[in-house]
């Protein structure tokens, strides 16, 4: 009991001590990403806008997928999804990429995947400007529920940190994950209602066994719940959930986040002992 308490105190002491480093690493990544770029940080706004314009034409006109206010529907969901994928993809190689620094000085190694999540969070803040631009252009009303936006972002951030700890640990030992994760996220994206409404699958459950299976898988997809929560507070106010996400939906979102973070912390703690031998 005393040992656990002392370990927790040591963790928080280290975390406070290295918070300036965390900030410096985040600023460094922002500068490196947009180095020698004429538009710089503006690309964080332009990228989601341009992608939204392309997909609106492809899915709205060519494929005839009818979603009310599709530009808003897509860009809101994509903002949350891109935050998650950017955080985890960056964190995956964060330990390997920091090998020179890790070998020279002592730094708590969880700092590196955590920094990638914070960096993605900053980019999410910039991408929200694009979301607001689209909503204003579409004359889409923003309700008071938008003040609750931080709740799904917090859930997704915790989940992303947990996934980042897992991925960064495994990648040190199995470099193939760097290549496989892109395939996984593509499948994962199509199992998350970003470019299509969940009603398309839900309405086919009774007549199609495949649809029933896919619908069941989606219900166990944490990103489905985070994206829908994000849309609910930003778009619907009192729409999709009849009322705003209640206790059960919050417990589901928090459960996925806390469970993944706990598993990630456990895996990372055990794996980091031999990082130095593999990086």
pLDDT tens for residues 247-262?
A: 899 999 999 999 999 9
152-171 residue pLDDT tens: 999 999 999 999 999 999 99
Mean pLDDT of all residues belonging to the chain: 84
For residue 30, what pLDDT is reported? 77
Do the Cβ atoms of 60 and 136 come closer than 8 Å? Answer: no
More confident residue, 273 or 218: 218
For residue 39, what pLDDT is reported? 59
In 3D space, the residue among 180, 170, 14, 31 whose CA is nearest the CA of residue 91 turns out to be 170
For residue 267, what pLDDT is reported? 94
For residue 143, what pLDDT is reported? 80
For residue 61, what pLDDT is reported? 62
In 3D space, the residue among 236, 216, 212 whose CA is nearest the CA of residue 224 turns out to be 216
5-52 residue pLDDT tens: 555 566 667 778 878 888 888 888 877 776 665 556 666 777 777 877
71-81 residue pLDDT tens: 888 899 999 99
More confident residue, 213 or 164: 164
More confident residue, 101 or 237: 101
Q: Which residues of 131-169 are buried (b: 16+ CB within 10 A; e: fewer)?
A: bbebbeeeebeeeebeebeebbbebbbbbbbbbbbbbbb
Section 176-201 average pLDDT: 90
Report residue 168 as tokens.
């960064």
- pTM reported for the whole predicted model: 0.88
96-151 residue pLDDT tens: 988 888 888 888 889 999 999 999 999 899 889 989 988 888 888 888 888 889 99
């Amino acid at each position: 009991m005393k040992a656990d308490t002392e370990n927790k105190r040591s963790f928080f002491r280290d975390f406070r001590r290295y918070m300036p480093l965390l900030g410096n690493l985040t600023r460094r990544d922002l500068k490196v990403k947009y180095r020698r770029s004429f538009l710089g940080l503006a690309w964080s706004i332009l990228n989601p806008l341009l992608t939204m314009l392309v997909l609106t034409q492809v899915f709205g006109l060519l494929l005839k997928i009818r979603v009310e206010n599709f530009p808003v529907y897509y860009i809101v969901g994509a903002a949350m999804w891109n935050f998650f994928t950017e955080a985890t993809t960056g964190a995956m190689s964060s330990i390997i990429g920091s090998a020179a620094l890790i070998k020279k000085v002592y730094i708590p190694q969880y700092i590196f995947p955590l920094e990638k999540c914070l960096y993605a969070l900053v980019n999410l803040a910039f991408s929200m400007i694009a979301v607001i631009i689209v909503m204003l252009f579409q004359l889409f009303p923003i309700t008071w529920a938008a003040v609750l936006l931080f709740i799904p972002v917090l859930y997704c951030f915790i989940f992303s940190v947990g996934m980042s700890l897992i991925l960064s640990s495994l990648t040190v030992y199995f470099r193939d994950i760097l290549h496989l994760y892109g395939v996984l996220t593509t499948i994962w994206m199509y199992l998350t209602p970003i470019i299509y409404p969940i009603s398309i699958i839900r309405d086919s459950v009774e007549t199609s066994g495949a649809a029933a299976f896919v619908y069941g898988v989606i219900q166990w997809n944490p990103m489905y719940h985070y994206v829908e929560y994000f849309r609910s507070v930003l778009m619907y106010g009192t729409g999709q959930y009849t009322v705003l996400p209640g206790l059960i939906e919050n417990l589901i979102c928090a459960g996925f986040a806390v469970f993944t973070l706990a598993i990630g912390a456990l895996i990372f703690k055990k794996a980091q002992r031999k990082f130095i031998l593999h990086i």
